[in-house]
Amino acid sequence: MALREILIVPDPRLKKECAAVTEVNDEIRQLLDDMLETMYAAPGIGLAAPQIGVMKRVVVMDVSDEKDKPEPLKLINPEIIWESEELAVYQEGCLSIPDQYADVERPAEVGMRYMDENGKEHEIEADGLLATCIQHEIDHLDGVLFTDYLSALKRNMIIKKVQKLQKTKKSA
C-alpha cells in the first residue's frame, strides 16, 4: 500500500467528471487500498479517487466512530438510486478543503448501488452521517464540492483561506 498526495482546492482536477470503472481488476483493488490508507492517515471519513488525481468513479469511506473497530467501505461506480424528501443539515468538511467547515443541507436518507472490490453489486440504504458522506463523495465524482452549495461570497472566502493556509505551510 502507498500513501497518495491529496489535491487541494482550487486544483482543476477536483472540478471534473470521472469515468465509470469498466473492469474491476488488481489495479482498482490497489487503488482502493491506497485510498483507504491515505484517508485513515489524513485522517478523514471519506475519500474519492479524483482527490488523489485519479479520474475514476471510486470512493472509500469509514464513518464508524470507534477507531479501533474500522468499518471500511470500498465503492466502485457508486450511484444514488433514491433519496428522501426529508432533508438534514450536517457541518461538512473535505480533505481537499483543509480546516474549513460549513453547514450543508441534503436529503436525510438515500439508497445507493455500487460494486465491491470483487465486482459484486450491492444496494444499501443509509441515513445520518453515512447518507451525508455518500452524497458528498459521489458529488466528488461529478466535480462537485460541498462549497458549491454555499453562496459565491462564502465559497470564495473559504478558498482564499485555504490558499493562505497552504502558503504558510509551504514557507514553514
Residue nearest to Ni ion (CB): 94
Q: How far apart are CB 168 and Ni ion at their closest, in Å?
A: 22
Using CB under 5 A as the criterion, which residues of the chain lie in contact with Ni ion when the complex forms? Answer: 94
Q: With contact defined as beta carbons under 8 Å apart, do 61 and 133 qualify? A: yes
| Alpha-helical segments (H) within 64-172 | 128-141, 152-171
Q: Would you list the DSSP string of 10-52?
A: T-GGGGSPPBPP----HHHHHHHHHHHHHHHHTT-SEEEGGGG
Nearer to Ni ion, 94 or 131 (CB): 94
R_g (Cα) of the chain, nearest Å: 16
* Residue 94: all three cell numbers together: 473535505
Q: How far apart are CB 9 and Ni ion at their closest, in Å?
A: 10
Nearer to Ni ion, 32 or 94 (CB): 94
Nearer to Ni ion, 60 or 94 (CB): 94
Nearer to Ni ion, 47 or 115 (CB): 47
- Active-site residues, by number, are 137
The phi-psi region of residue 133 (left if phi > 0; otherwise alpha if psi is between -120 and 50; otherwise beta) is alpha
Q: How far apart are CB 147 and Ni ion at their closest, in Å?
A: 10
Q: Which candidate, 153, 156, 167, places its Cα nearest to that of 10?
A: 156
Q: How far apart are CB 120 and Ni ion at their closest, in Å?
A: 26
